[in-house]
Amino acid sequence: MKTFAALAVAAALLGTSLPAVADGVLTANYGGQITETADGWRIEFAVRDGGVRAWVRDHGDKPVAATGKATLLVGGKKLDVPLKADGEVLTA
C-alpha cells in the first residue's frame, strides 16, 4: 500500500510539472531574468545603463505590444515606475 501511495504522489507531481517544462529551458535573449506567465507570455527583465528594460514575447517568441510598470525596492522603499514602449522593448 505504501508503494502505491508513493507512486501516486510521484505521478501527481510529475503530471503537474510536465506543462511547465514542455518547452524546455527558457533562454533570456538580452542577458536579463526571464519568466513565463500562465498565459504563455515570456517576459525578460534587465537592469542596465541606469534603467529597467522589459521584453514581452508570446509563446511563439513573437514580440507583444505591452504597457505596464516596474515595481522596484530602493533603499527599503517601494518605487513604481512606468514602462514606456521603445520599439520592441519597454523602458523605464
Domain boundaries, the chain: 25-91
Q: pTM of the predicted model, to two decimals?
A: 0.68
Contact (CB, 8 A) for 55 and 90: yes
- pLDDT of the residue at 13: 47
- 89 pLDDT above the threshold of 90: yes
C-alpha torsion sign, points 22, 26, 27, 29? positive
Render pLDDT for 32-79 as a digit per residue (tens, 0 to 9).
999 999 988 999 999 988 899 999 999 888 999 999 999 989 899 999
Quick one: how far is CA 37 from the chain centroid?
Answer: 6
- 7 pLDDT above the threshold of 60: no
Rounded to whole angstroms, the Cα distance separating 22 from 73 reads 33
